[in-house]
């Protein structure tokens, strides 16, 4: 049911060893992702979906519970 409406895409940008190096670097240098958080509610989801449609999306979306 889920996969009948959505496509899942992924890509490997490097080997497993390179990923380990990148994660170690991120840990040492306290690298954090830039995300926009929205409440996991009907209003929050509508707002999160509306951002890309209005070309106002800056970062990745994260739905959070409160």
Q: What is the pLDDT of residue 53?
A: 77
Q: What is the pLDDT of residue 54?
A: 76
62 against 11, higher pLDDT: 62
With contact defined as beta carbons under 8 Å apart, do 38 and 62 qualify?
A: yes
With contact defined as beta carbons under 8 Å apart, do 38 and 61 qualify?
A: yes
d(CA 25, CA 28) in angstroms, rounded, equals 5
Q: What is the pLDDT of residue 30?
A: 96
52 against 9, higher pLDDT: 52
pLDDT in tens, 18-64: 989 999 999 999 999 898 999 999 999 888 888 877 787 788 888 89
Other beta carbons within 10 angstroms of residue 38's beta carbon come to: 18
Task: Please tell me the pTM assigned to this model.
Answer: 0.52
């Amino acid at each position: 049911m889920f996969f009948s409406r959505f496509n899942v895409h992924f890509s490997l940008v490097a080997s497993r060893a390179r990923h380990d190096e990148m994660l170690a670097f991120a840990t040492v240098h306290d690298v954090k992702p830039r995300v926009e958080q929205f409440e996991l509610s009907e209003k929050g989801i509508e707002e999160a979906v509306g951002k890309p449609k209005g070309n106002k999306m800056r970062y990745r979306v994260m739905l959070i519970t409160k």
